[in-house]
Amino acid sequence: MAAYSAERDDVRQRILAIDPGKTTGWAAYDVAEETFDSGQTNFMETCQLLETCASQWSSELHIVSESFLITLQTVKNTQTPWSLELIGVARYFSQAYCDEDLTLQMPSAAKRFSSDQRLKDMGWYVPGKGHANDAARHLLLFMATHGWWDDRITV
């Protein structure tokens, strides 16, 4: 059984989580319907998804993204601006349409809490879709840290 704890009044109707990159994973959950969906899209498709969800659901939507830290190693890697640019796009839609700031989460925290096994237990794991699974990790972490629980989550 899935539910939010009664004392949480800041949870929105829908949550959209992204794992930004050239190929971006996304995962969405509707609280009232208890429905989950996920997938992977390119940069422009992700921008369109964010715009569609934010404009359609506005104050009912909460957007979550994996954070991206720039380190000395980042400078040595091939320049790929996709993650930073998508975080900026997500922040814009979150603030302009949903009237709240984008929630950023560390990749390590999401992986630690939302293991492959946990995603499988939830029925959220998609073989061969690593970016979609990473977005689902962020979705599950966000929901659990905001009072949501499902009996399929094993300790």
Q: What is the pLDDT of residues 78-91, one digit of tens each?
A: 667 889 999 999 99
CATH assignment of the domain containing 117: 3.30.420.10
Range of the domain at 144: 11-150
Its pTM stands at: 0.90
Does residue 101 lie within any of the structural domains? yes
65 belongs to a structural domain = yes
Within a domain: 2: no
Does 5 map to a domain? no
Convert the chain into a string of H (helix), E (strand) and C (coil).
CEEECCCCCCCCCEEEEEECCCCEEEEEEECCCCEEEEEEECHHHHHHHHHHHHHHHHHHEEEEEECCCCCHHHHHCCCCCHHHHHHHHHHHHHHHHHCCCCEEECHHHHHHHCCHHHHHHHCCCCCCCHHHHHHHHHHHHHHHHCCEEECCCCC
> pLDDT at position 75, please?
61
Q: What is the pLDDT of residues 109-144, one digit of tens each?
A: 999 999 999 999 999 999 999 999 999 999 999 999
Q: What pLDDT is recorded for position 6?
A: 46
Of 22-31, 32-41, 140-149, where does mean pLDDT reach its minimum?
140-149
Q: What pLDDT, in 10s, does the model give residues 96-105?
A: 999 999 999 9
* Residue 3, in any domain of the structure: no
Is there a contact between 48 and 31 (Cβ–Cβ < 8 Å)? no
The number of distinct structural domains making up the chain is: 1
In-domain check, residue 128: yes
